[in-house]
Each structure stands twice: as structure tokens, then as C-alpha cells.
Amino acid sequence: MRKLLVLLTALLFFTGQLFAQKSITGKVTDEKGNPVANASVTIKGTTTGTVTTEEGSYSLNLPESARQLEISAVGYATQTVDIAASRSFYSTALSAVSKEIEEVVVTGYTNIKKSKYAGAATMVTKDKINFIPNASFDQILQGRAPGLLVS
């Protein structure tokens, strides 16, 4: 009898937890009405969330304590949406935002005199690498020039 009572209490507890969650759906679009794929939809203040599909739609189970959704995507401004108790579908339009790049570094092979080059340069000669018993070129260069990152 005691086991049956404990089992019944546990079943009621877990059933109550299932009903405490709310399921919502929605669609994320841009200013022109085009769907935004791979937008992040999270419960504000938590890491619980989902990602939109190619059509911009999403589905998410919310705990009872959730009050706001945070929707963000690359190239768009983050938007916060208040969750209403009576709604189960949320349509959100994100506005595009442009960010200026402060610094761009382009590397390549050029013929330039060392006196005109403004960066740091190191020369690794064949004398330093001739008798290194390594199989690949990147392993030979590893540790030969300061600041060199080989991947």
C-alpha cells in the first residue's frame, strides 16, 4: 500500500510538471517579410532555446517562469519579445544592422623590400630546416619564427 501511495504521488508530481510547460511556435522574418534562417530564439536570461528553420519558423517549450524571448541573428539587431499567457504564436520581424569593421588584415605573397615593410618579418633559411626529420612543411616551420601560428 505504501509503495502504491509513493508511486501515485510521484505520478501526480511529474504530471504537474508536464502541464507547467507551455509550447509556443513562431516565425522570424526580416523587414521585407523574407524568412530568417538559423536565427537564435532563447528564453531571456537562460541558455534554453532553439534555432529557426529555413522557413524562419520555430517551436519551443517554455517553463512557467519564462517572461521574455530574445531573438537574434547575424546581421540583424537583437529583439526582445514579451510572452503573453494567452498567445501561442509569435511573429517577429528583425531589422538589419550594419557594423563597420575597425581593422582588416590581409596577408599574401608579395615582392617588397624589407625597409618598406611595416610589419615583423623573419626569414627561415634552408640551413635551419635541411636536416629536420619531420614529414610535413608546417611541422618544419613550427618553432622557427616567433609569433608564427601553424595549423
Contact 20, 52 (CB under 8 A): no
Whole-prediction pTM value?
A: 0.55
Please give the mean pLDDT across all residues of the chain.
78
76/72 Cα distance (integer angstroms): 7
Contacts of 47 (CB under 8 A, 6+ apart): none
Express each pLDDT in 50-108 by its tens digit: 999 999 999 998 888 888 999 999 889 999 999 887 888 999 999 998 776 554 444 55
Contact 70, 80 (CB under 8 A): yes
Q: Length of the chain, please?
A: 151
Amino acid of residue 38:
N
77/91 Cα distance (integer angstroms): 16
